[in-house]
Amino acid sequence: MNELISIFIGMALVNNFVLSRFLGLCPFFGVSKKLDNALSMGIAVTLVMFLASVVTWFIYHHILVPFNVEYMKIIIYIVVIASLVQIVEMAIKRTNVTLYNALGIYLPLITTNCAVLGITLINTQEDFSLIQSMVSALGGGIGFLFVLVIMSGIRERLELSDVPKSMKGLPIAFITAMLLSLTFFGFGGMV
Amino acid sequence: MSRLRKEFLKGIIISNPVFVLALGLCPALAISISIDNALGMSMGVAIVLLGSNIMVATLRKIVPNAVRIPVFIVIIASFVTIIDLLFQAYFPPLHQSLGIYLPLIVVNCIVLGRAEAFASKNPIFDSIADALGIAIGFMLALLLVSFIRQMLGTGMLTVFGKELLRLPGLASHPMALFVLPPGAFLVIALLLALFRRMGVLKNE
């Protein structure tokens, strides 16, 4: 149990996906302008990360390893993620139209989100068991959601503040990310 | 010929992938702690970009429009697998230090972006020129960021084990912040702001 908790905290806070592994930066800077969008995107990414981790764990340990074709993992994982995103999109469309409209445009973008492929590769690299993979995916996803929401809150305020002309937009967002990343260093001692 | 030159040059400055288009930021920030990493990463991206652009441009009339994105992704993933294995065989230390960022070239927006925006609509030679231009633009951006981070973060410049330069004072008391994650954000932010100030980039 202790081990699972330390994996979770390690993924969510210490080695945060955005701030210390630099995964998922495109949505981080693209979507984090509004709080609602950030929340929807974060939830969608967490969901896909979790599902992708479970599916790729089974594929890796029950198909790739027995047939000795581990080197195919990159191709297989990206195909799995792309199809998973399609399936999740269809499932949400059928069951919950409100949620579908809220997530709408972000769902297809998740395929090329490096956080999703990143978590599956990290799980394989660390040789996690099924339960460990699930926990690490949840940790990574929640850490991503957490940072996206914080960032969007700050950026909503930045819109109103007086920023030097050449720092407007992306540069000031990077500076904010730098300060956040420095803050997250404080979690370093936790694991 | 001049058309090819134009496609080649545009990738370096006018649409520099990292600074202008803000694409491929993940690897640009994550691995830019040393010149070695920057060279390795940009070599990987260049091979994948060249390979996928050639393949996509060749197949552009055969692939049905509806399934083009999955096809592009599989093509890119195959090239990434090839360079992953090549690096593992010939440059093991580099493969080690690039870690998961080498396989992550698959989801690098630069590669898929060029396949979709350029190679799927243009003939092979234009696509090759485009790939080379973008790859060199990416390499220059990566080298610039790595150079600053390595100089300030370690106080010296080493390329593949050879020490080229050592800053007195800074080498004994390096600003370690710059080789840590926050340093990456800071350097990119300041570079973007500087380029805007100099008028190379447009303000938002």
Cβ–Cβ gap A165/B186 under 8 Å: no
What dihedral do alpha carbons A70, A71, A75, A76 form, nearest 10°? -10
Comparing B160 with A80, the larger pLDDT belongs to A80
Amino acid present at A75: I
Looking at the partner chain, which of A79, A172, A181 has a beta carbon nearest the beta carbon of B181?
A181
- The angle subtended at Cα B31 by Cα A190 and Cα B93, nearest 5°, is 100
Q: How far apart are CA B167 and CA B184, in angstroms?
A: 20
Q: Please report how many Cα atoms fall inside a 13 Å half-sphere around the Cα of residue B75, on the Cβ side.
A: 27
User: B11, B192, B71: which is closest to A163 by C-alpha?
Assistant: B192
Q: How many residues does chain A have?
A: 191
- Contact list in B for residue A70 (CB cut-off 8 A) is none
By CB atoms closer than 10 A (0-12, 13-18, 19+), residue B48 is buried
Q: What is the mean pLDDT of residues B106-128?
A: 85
Classified as helix, coil or strand, A17 is: coil
Check pLDDT > 60 for residue B204.
no
Classified as helix, coil or strand, B163 is: strand
Q: What is the mean pLDDT of residues B34-57?
A: 91
- Contact list in B for residue A24 (CB cut-off 8 A) is 26
**Model pLDDT, residue A104:** 63
Beta strands, E only, B56-171:
156-159, 162-166
Taking only the tens place, the pLDDT of each residue in A119-142 is: 999 999 889 999 999 999 999 999
Q: Is B190 on the interface with A (CB under 8 A)?
A: yes
Looking at the partner chain, which of B26, B182, B194 has a beta carbon nearest the beta carbon of A114?
B26
Classified as helix, coil or strand, B204 is: coil
The whole-angstrom distance between residue B96's C-alpha and the CA centroid of its chain comes to 18
Mutant choice from B146, B178, B192, B194 vs A, greatest count of A C-beta within 10 A: B192
Q: Is B29 on the interface with A (CB under 8 A)?
A: yes
Q: Is A151 on the interface with B (CB under 8 A)?
A: no
* Residue in the block written with tokens 């690299």: A125
Cβ–Cβ gap A175/B189 under 8 Å: yes
What dihedral do alpha carbons A80, A84, A85, A89 form, nearest 10°? 160
Q: How far apart are CA A70 and CA B187, in angstroms?
A: 37
Q: How far apart are CA B110 and CA B106, in angstroms?
A: 10
Cβ–Cβ gap A117/B103 under 8 Å: yes
ipTM of the complex: 0.85
Question: Where are the domains positioned within chain A?
Answer: 14-184
Pick from A102-106, A181-185, B148-152: least confident? A102-106
**Model pLDDT, residue A144:** 92
**Model pLDDT, residue A143:** 93
The whole-angstrom distance between residue B114's C-alpha and the CA centroid of its chain comes to 13
**Model pLDDT, residue B133:** 87
